[in-house]
Amino acid sequence: MPSEPAADLSGRRPLQSRSTAWARALSSWLTRQGVAPNAISAASVGFSVLAVGVAWLAVRDVLPQGWAWLTLAVCVQLRLLCNLMDGMVAVEGGKKSPTGDLWNELPDRFADAIFLLTAGWLCGAIFWAVAAGLGALMTAYVRALGHGLTRVQDFAGPGAKPQRMALLTLGALVSVGGGKVSWAMPVTLMLITGLTWATVFLRMGRLARRMKNGGTA
């Protein structure tokens, strides 16, 4: 998980993958196909709902639970791909819309909560899933509050979205193994909760310092 700058004046999450050849090629193809950035943002929620659907089938013993964990892991990564592509199509592809910022933020909040709650439901650790989900909402809130007060976006971890989703993916993949590793996702959700809430308080501290310094990082 690469380190992230504490603050960014551009308003975009610093991502190394944005400069890769495959990402540029895919975003260029999506732009040529006329795919709207807002539709890509909405698709991220669609993948989270797909994960819920497969989890529901697994809970009802229609599908093996391993399939639910594998689907969750794949859908988390597809959600992150959507997060990368919507911004690239909008900015590099020149397809920004007046409602782009709204679509860039709200689907993320829904997807975060749905993925974490699905994981908690499957492993019986709903308390930690809710705690992690609330922490994810708060990290976004403090970042948005900081941007409103100081015009600086703070994307730093240690429990920012890329770190949360990397841990969730890893926990889901380990959980494919079944009963012998049934501890994996509860422990993962505990770790995500701790790192996410640490991120909330660290961002609050950095925001307070910027405000004391007149809005500078």
Residue 8 inside a domain? The answer is no
**How many domains does one find in the chain?**
1
Domain range spanning residue 174? 16-212
Instruction: Report, as an integer, the average pLDDT of 134-160.
Output: 94
pLDDT at residue number 7: 47
Instruction: Tell me the C-alpha distance between 18 and 20, whole Å.
Output: 6
pLDDT band per the 50, 70, 90 thresholds, residue 215: low
Question: Phi-psi bin for 214: left (phi > 0), alpha (psi -120 to 50), beta?
Answer: left
Q: Decide which of 98 and 57 is more confident.
A: 57
Phi/psi of residue 154, nearest 5 degrees: -105, 105
Residue 117 inside a domain? The answer is yes
Q: Reduced to 3 states, what is the DSSP secondary structure of residue 96?
A: coil
pLDDT at residue number 5: 43
Rg (CA), the chain: 18
- Summarised one tens digit per residue, pLDDT across range 1-27 is 334 444 444 567 888 889 899 999 999
Beta bridge partners, 153, equal 8
pLDDT at residue number 159: 96
Task: Specify the CATH number for the domain of residue 118.
Answer: 1.20.120.1760
Q: Share the mean pLDDT of the chain.
A: 92
- Summarised one tens digit per residue, pLDDT across range 44-75 is 999 999 999 999 999 999 999 999 999 999 99
Q: Reduced to 3 states, what is the DSSP secondary structure of residue 8?
A: strand
pLDDT at residue number 15: 86
Residue 3 inside a domain? The answer is no
Residue 4 inside a domain? The answer is no
